Every structure is written in structure tokens, then in C-alpha cells.
Amino acid sequence: EMTRGLVRWSVVCVLFLPPGPLPAAAQEVRTVLVLHSEQWQAPALGLLTQGLRESLAASPAIAVEAQYLDISRFAGEAHDRELAAWLHTRYRGRQLAAVVPIGVPASAFASRYAETIWPGARLIHAAIDGDQIRVAMERGEPVIPRGYQYRRTVEYALQLWPATRRVWLIGGASAQDHR
């Protein structure tokens, strides 16, 4: 599943590249900004980012940068507006080829503020689910959905702890979970 996701990720990223090689003199570096919801990296997100960097490393005309939003620690509309204003200042005058928000919080933020912060950059949403997929698709933006496999996760956990008799799934209760 992860390999298939990385292959789809690579294919989507190639969609915004020029159709053929450019002459060496005309080649300019195109920047792809990976927009992370949080500073910490879950193993799957680390692999996703690594796969992107590796697949684009073959082209010297592409640079990959990262921006961490740290959204869960500073949630709220007022903070989002301030963050958008700061990012607008930070990226002013820079032309990005694409912005790849990873996770629902980064995707929602990018859907709302990307045109102001990174005008002309193509959004490619990754690791999102639920209503955010619909929002991105209605805007005509590419999506690499996130698919949780709860049954397999529990089965693997039970292999690690075979004496376990009860399992609870808790999630989606906070305001941040609903963003």
C-alpha cells in the first residue's frame, strides 16, 4: 500500500513538470514546497516525504523545500490568518511550481490561503481524507488520499501483544480533529 502510494505521489508530481528536457542554458530551478501540518514526522509521512525527494532528485532543475505549520499547537482562525500573513511575507517574490500540503490541516490551510501566499503555485494534496478530499477535488486539484486500515492495524498490534483482550479506538473528538 505504501509503495503504491509513493508511486502515485511521484506520478502526480511529474504532472507539473515540463514535457521534455530544457536546454541547459534555459533550465531554471523549479521549487516544490512540502507543507507539513506539524513539526513531528510520523513514520509514514517521513517515507512519503523521502519518496518525493528521491523521485525528484533525478532532476537538477527541481528543488524540494519544507515548511512546518505546527497547526495543532496554535489552532484557530486568528492564528491561521497571522500565519498566512507571515508566510506571504516569507515567500513574497518567490515563484513556486507546486505546494504539496500533507495532511488534512495543511490541506485545509492551503486551500484557504495558497493563492494569496503562493500565487500561481499548483496545489497537490497528499494524505487527506473525508471532506477535505471533496474540497480539493471541487477546486480541480490533484489528491493522493489517505486510507487508514484499522483492522490491519489492530491485527498487527494483537500480534505484538497477544494477551490483549480489549481494544478501543478513540479519535475525532477535538476541534482540531474536525478541521
- Tens of pLDDT, residues 87-135: 999 999 999 999 999 989 999 999 999 999 999 999 999 988 889 999 9
Q: pLDDT tens digits for 8-41?
A: 555 445 445 554 455 554 568 889 999 998 877 6
Start-to-end CA distance of the chain, whole Å, equals 26
pLDDT reading at 44 higher than 80: no
Residue 161 C-alpha from the chain's centroid: 32
As given in the structure block, the three cell numbers for residue 62 are 527541481
| Confidence (pLDDT) at 39 | 75
Q: pLDDT band for position 84 (50/70/90)?
A: very high
pLDDT tier at 81 (50, 70, 90 boundaries)? very high
Task: Please report which residue ranges of the chain form alpha helices under DSSP H.
Answer: 2-14, 43-56, 77-91, 104-117, 131-138, 150-160
pTM of the entire structure? 0.72
